[in-house]
Chains A and B, each alone.
Chain A
Amino acid sequence: MIETKNLTFQYNKKTEAVKDISLKIPKGSWVSIIGHNGSGKSTFAKLLVGLLEADSGEIYINDELITKENLTNLRKQIGIVFQNPDNQFVGVTVKYDIAFGLENQQLSSKEIKEKVLEYARFVGMEEYLDKEPHLLSGGQKQRVAIAGALAMEQDIIILDEATSMLDPKGTKEIVELIKKVNKEMNKTVIMITHDLELANLSDYVYVFKNGSLVLEGNNKKVFSEKEILESSNLELPIALSIYHELANDKNIDKKLVDTLWELSSKM
């Protein structure tokens, strides 16, 4: 479980990038943090993994308060995958890239090899172990990045806009993989995204606006709050926005409205 209490951070003296965020993410859940560009959602992710240090507030992982002293512990429990597949490929080939984190863990080379193979298999990249990054598609590079994060065997994985640079095929590959990571490996998945259709796949949604948490709940609750979503500069998926437009129109058959609502969680 991850919990934050009154977490606040500012890059410069003028603006607070993250304001007083308190939330609780249960173990094994799949949650989305959605918001416009500059809403603070990525900054929040960086605070969680310890890439930034909060100005005030607290972070608890499994009820343990994170301090400077046990920060290394925290890093052992959370992995993160970033937006741009090209900026996070550090190995010369797929296998070296997946092994990168493991090499700092005092494992024997046999153990490293086994783990690399295991996680390459899990993400469906075992046939590409000796391939160089420029021979891979964006989706494949992101799968390698996820394998590298999984190989560290952390409980929590954060995906920071991990699909926003991919084509539709690459996005589908990653979505399928995230499902597997959450359901089969039972890992807590925190997805940072501006895509409401992606967010719709998760169990629980947090909405950030100008650094603050303005809405949270299950999909049904969050997606019925049209005004808050729109005023947070988020774009409603087409089915949902038509639902909202027709829902208050008395001339429209209720069956149509209900079907639109039902479909809006599927597309």
Chain B
Amino acid sequence: MGIKFKNVNHEYQSFSSNEEAIKDINLNVNGTGEFIAILGHTGAGKSTLVQHMNALLYPTSGVVNVFGQDLPPRKKDKVNHLRQKVGLVFQFPEYQLFENTIIEDIAFGPKNFKSTKDKALDNAKKAASAVGIDESMYEQSPFRISGGQMRRVAVAGILAMDPSILVLDEPTRGLDPKGRDEVMDIFKTIHETENKTIVLITHDMDIVSRYAKRVVVLKDGEIVFDGLKEDLFTHPDFNTFNLEVPTTFKLLKALEEKLGIPFKETYTREELTNYLKGVKL
């Protein structure tokens, strides 16, 4: 079980014309164990795509099946429960905080999905500890903490619903390197310890290279690549995807040109350092 897109199109309607944001999308996302990065230019359709994953948008043609429920739904179908199964964290989620205290804000989601108040609070506490929000902060206002902390509180609010799939729209945007690593490490831990599927939109190729297993590339609303990270950067059409290569690639390419060190795909700083330690000039 998971999410299946079948020939999905989505058109936004405006006064003068209709604009196709995503075209003929066929995509399967497993309900467990995946770490997918969704890449593409601004305007490629990434946000439109992920908003179909928890029924915030319906296809204008084609079908999305989310944990057994077809979308668009028939009249009597309810879709609300899908948003518990697939948790979506928007860009700048800290703008959506609103409760009086941090712990109430985190507990808001589970409370709405019919869990009892005690259960909701329990989930909220677990989620808070997963994102590194200490118990001593529970009663503080979510508006009187740093930007990085606000973002973690907002992420905890989604985690507290215990979704199977966690969808994140540019979760590290606007954070400094330390904040970025902290946030990414939270998702990595959740993925590794609870086997949850993570789907994330990003522009940062170094995040892709370090964390993602599978990559989906969108261009002008269409999927032009869907496969393993290791196959992306060596794909014959890579240049047409308008993507950057990871810094590790750039650096080793430059070393190949200058010193003749043979190029090899490395995805992290550690891998590249170890490789360089082994080469003989």
Interface residue ranges of B65-105 to A (CB < 8 Å): none
B: interface residue count bin: 20 to 34
CB atoms of A259 and B258 under 8 A apart: yes
CA distance A233 to B176 in the complex (A): 9
Interface mask (A242-256 → B, CB under 8 Å = 1, otherwise 0): 100110010111011
Q: Interface-forming stretch among A96-104, A161-169, A180-188?
A: A161-169
Residues of chain A at interface, number, CB under 8 A? 34
CB atoms of A246 and B179 under 8 A apart: no
**In the complex, what's the smallest C-beta–C-beta distance from B217 to chain A, in angstroms?**
14
B247 interface residue (CB < 8 Å to A): yes
**In the complex, what's the smallest C-beta–C-beta distance from A139 to chain B, in angstroms?**
9
**In the complex, what's the smallest C-beta–C-beta distance from A159 to chain B, in angstroms?**
15
A234 interface residue (CB < 8 Å to B): yes
Q: Interface-forming stretch among B110-118, B160-168, B271-279?
A: B271-279
CB atoms of A168 and B244 under 8 A apart: yes
Interface mask (B175-215 → A, CB under 8 Å = 1, otherwise 0): 11111010000000000000000000001001000000000
Interface residue SS majority, chain A = loop
A155 interface residue (CB < 8 Å to B): no
**In the complex, what's the smallest C-beta–C-beta distance from A88 to chain B, in angstroms?**
15
CA distance A194 to B178 in the complex (A): 10
Q: Which residues of A contact B42 (CB under 8 A)?
A: 137-138, 167, 169-170
CA distance A66 to B73 in the complex (A): 65
A37 interface residue (CB < 8 Å to B): yes
CB atoms of A246 and B273 under 8 A apart: yes
Which 3 A-B pairs have CB atoms at the shortest separation, nearest pair first? A235-B177, A194-B176, A253-B281
- Chain A to chain B contacts (Cβ below 8 Å), 24 pairs: A36-B178, A37-B178, A37-B179, A138-B42, A164-B174, A165-B173, A167-B203, A168-B244, A169-B41, A169-B42, A170-B42, A194-B177, A233-B178, A235-B178, A238-B206, A242-B273, A245-B273, A246-B273, A252-B276, A252-B277, A253-B281, A256-B276, A263-B254, A267-B254
